[in-house]
Amino acid sequence: MNEMLCPRPCPAVAAIRRDFNEVRDHLAAGHRCVDAWLALAELVSVPAHQLDCLARASALAPDDLELEIAYLEQRLIVDPGDTEASGALRAARARRVLMGHKPRIFRQMDASLTLGAILVQMGAITAQELEWLLEEQAAVRRRGDQVMFGDVAVVRGKVTPETLARALIVQTQQRISNEAAPRALGEYLIAGGLPLERLEQALTEQIYLRRVGRYETLGEILLRRRWVTRDQLEHALAQQRQDVLSLFR
C-alpha cells in the first residue's frame, strides 16, 4: 500500500469530518492524515480511543505544538497520575508562551529550553506566571532598563535565588548536552574544569547580591572564593570574547 501524507488542511476530510465511517475509510485507503485522526478524536467518545487518535496525529506532525499540548492534556485525562505527561505539558505550554516573546533568530540558534521554560518544567512557576513575568520584563525594558528575566522573577517574589541558580545550571547542562556553542562565562569555565556545584553556589551568591543592590561579576565571586585562578578566568574570558567577535566577521 502506498501511504500518502495528506496536506493540512486536508480537503477530503473537510467534506467528511462528521462521518465516522468515511473518515475511517479515508485512513484505511492509506492516507497518512493528521486531520483525519483529529476528526476521529472528536467522533469517538472513549478517552483512551481519543488519546490513541491524538497520539497518531501528533506522530504525523511532531512540530505542531498545539497538537502536542492536546495530546498531553488527553494523556492526563486518561491517567491523571502521569507525571511524565504533566512535566512535558508544563514545558510545552511554556514554549507556547515564549513563542510570542522570543525572536525567531534565537529560537533557531539553540534548541535548548529558555530559562523561563525550565522554571515552568521544574514546577517553580506556572505558564501563566511565565507570561506575566515576560510582560513585566518587557515593560521594564521599554523604560530603558536592560533587566534580565531571572532578576524580574526574583524581585517579584516568584522564585528564590537558589531556584534561579538551579535553573541556570539545568540550562547550562542542556546546552552542553545539545552541543550548543558556549555563550555564558560559566559555560566556558565548566569546559575548563570548574565543577557545576561551585558554579551553582557562585550564581546563587551573585543573585543574592544583585537583589540588595550589590553588583559583583561571576568572575569576581569565583576569584574571591578561590575556585578559579586569575589565569583560568582570563583564559575563559578571552575565549568568550573571541567567539563573540567571530559572529561579526
The string of pLDDT tens digits covering residues 72-85 is 999 999 998 888 88
Q: Report the domain count for the chain.
A: 2
Residues β-bridged to residue 5: 32
88 assigned to some structural domain? no
Confidence band (pLDDT; 50, 70, 90) for 174? confident
- Please state the φ and ψ torsions of residue 5, each to the nearest 5 degrees: -85, 120
Residue-level pLDDT at 191: 83
Domain termination site, one of 80, 102, 125: 80
Predicted confidence (pLDDT) at residue 125 exceeds the cutoff of 80? yes
| Mean pLDDT (whole number) for 175-194 | 81
Check residues 177 and 12 and name the one with the higher pLDDT: 12
Enter the DSSP assignment of 5.
Answer: E
Q: Which three cell numbers stand for residue 246?
A: 567571530
Asked which of 63, 80, 97 is the last residue of a domain, the reply is 80
Contacts of 75 (CB under 8 A, 6+ apart): 51, 82, 85
| Residue 225 within any structural domain of the chain | yes
- pLDDT given at position 146: 74
pLDDT at 104: 41
26 in any annotated domain: yes
Confidence of residue 1 (pLDDT cuts 50, 70, 90): very low
Task: Report which of residues 59 and 20 the model is more confident about.
Answer: 20
| 107 has pLDDT over 50 | no
Structural domain that includes position 11: 1-80
Residue 4 bridge partners (DSSP): 31
Lowest mean pLDDT among 37-46, 60-69, 86-95, 97-106: 97-106
Give the whole-number percent of the chain exceeding pLDDT 70.
Answer: 88
pLDDT of residue 81: 87
Q: Is residue 140 part of a domain?
A: no
Q: Which of 80, 104, 120 is the last residue of a domain?
A: 80
C-alpha cell at 98: 515564549
Within a domain: residue 31? yes
pLDDT at residue 179 greater than cutoff 80: no
pLDDT computed for residue 63 by the predictor: 77
From CA 140, how far away is CA 148, in angstroms rounded? 10
Task: Specify the pLDDT at position 91.
Answer: 77
Give the pLDDT confidence score for residue 100 in this predicted structure. Answer: 54
- With beta carbons less than 8 A apart as the criterion, state whether 172 and 154 touch: no
Residue 58 counted as domain residue: yes
pLDDT over 80 (residue 34) = yes
Q: What is the mean pLDDT of residues 189-218?
A: 91
Higher pLDDT, 137 or 225: 225
Please report the pLDDT score of residue 38 as a whole number.
94
The answer to whether position 19 is within a domain reads yes
The answer as to whether 120 is a domain residue is no
